[in-house]
Amino acid sequence: MSKNLLLIFTRNPELGKVKTRLAKGIGDQNALEIYKMLLEHTRDVATEADCIKRVGYSVKVRDNDIWNTSIFEKFKQEGQDLGDRMYNAFHQAFVDGYTNVLIIGSDLYDLQIDHIHQAFTALENNDAVIGPAQDGGYYLLGMSILIKEVFYNKDWGNDSVYQDTIKDLSTKKIYTLETLNDIDVASDLKPYPIFKKYLD
């Protein structure tokens, strides 16, 4: 069994229920289209990763969707808020015997396979690895030991999440990846020609 596990947290792609901040700038239908593109990009990157992969659904596990069950294990996220759901997924991963665990979201068009490989390599010699996002959050979090405090007492969605997480990791050995842009609002689309039509 691979000792490395990649967790991917997704929202069920339903009109009006995904990318709500993005939708304020470009409309619900466009936001849903973009989210589906981001899901496909995340799937394509994750498929290349040499590890076990688990997709966590926000509402309900779907069969016959873009996540092929021959490649991705599926589960429903459990918990009161994002931190609680991430903690439960990490806890289960360590219970299941994995030694290096990463989590990514599904709204990062800049994510490449090299970021995942770099993160797993870093966990060979570090307690944690983190990928900061330009909006003050993070796009990737990894651990070789379970550090519970990282998942609690956070204002999720606030621009202080990354800094608050770094404080929780201050006594640990951590590795920081490059900062990337995740897509939350319409202005985040500007660097990408593929999304230009949604801004016209």
Per-residue confidence band for 158, with pLDDT thresholds at 50, 70 and 90 = confident
Q: pLDDT tens digit string along 162-185?
A: 999 999 999 999 999 999 998 999
DSSP track, 112-159:
-HHHHHHHHHHTTT-SEEEEEBTTSSEEEEEESS--GGGGSS--TTST
pLDDT of residue 156: 87
Average pLDDT, the chain: 95
Q: pLDDT tens digit string along 76-115?
A: 999 999 999 999 999 999 999 999 999 999 989 999 999 9
Q: How far is CA 33 from the centre of its chain?
A: 19
CA–CA distance, 161 with 149 (Å, rounded to integer) = 13
pLDDT of residue 1: 58
Q: pLDDT tens digit string along 60-83?
A: 999 899 999 999 999 999 999 999
Q: Is 129 a residue whose pLDDT tops 90?
A: yes
CA–CA distance, 25 with 22 (Å, rounded to integer) = 6
Beginning with the edge strand found earlier in the chain, give each strand of the sheet holding 100-104 in spatial order: 72-76, 52-57, 4-10, 100-104, 138-143, 128-132, 174-176
Predicted TM-score (pTM) of the model is: 0.95
| Mean pLDDT (whole number) for 136-161 | 93
Whole-number percent of the chain with pLDDT over 90: 92
pLDDT of residue 94: 97
pLDDT of residue 133: 93
For domain 4-198, which architecture applies?
Answer: Alpha-Beta Complex (3.90)
Whole-number percent of the chain with pLDDT over 70: 100
CA–CA distance, 9 with 14 (Å, rounded to integer) = 15
Q: Give Cβ neighbours of residue 134 (< 8 Å, ≥ 6 apart).
A: 179, 180, 181, 182
CA distance readout (Å), 160 to 111, 144, 146, 154? 21, 24, 22, 8
pLDDT of residue 107: 87
Q: How far is CA 116 from the centre of its chain?
A: 11
Q: What's the DSSP call for residue 180?
A: B
Per-domain boundaries in the chain? 4-198
Q: Is 73 helix (H, G, I), strand (E, B) or coil?
A: strand
Q: How far is CA 144 from the centre of its chain?
A: 17
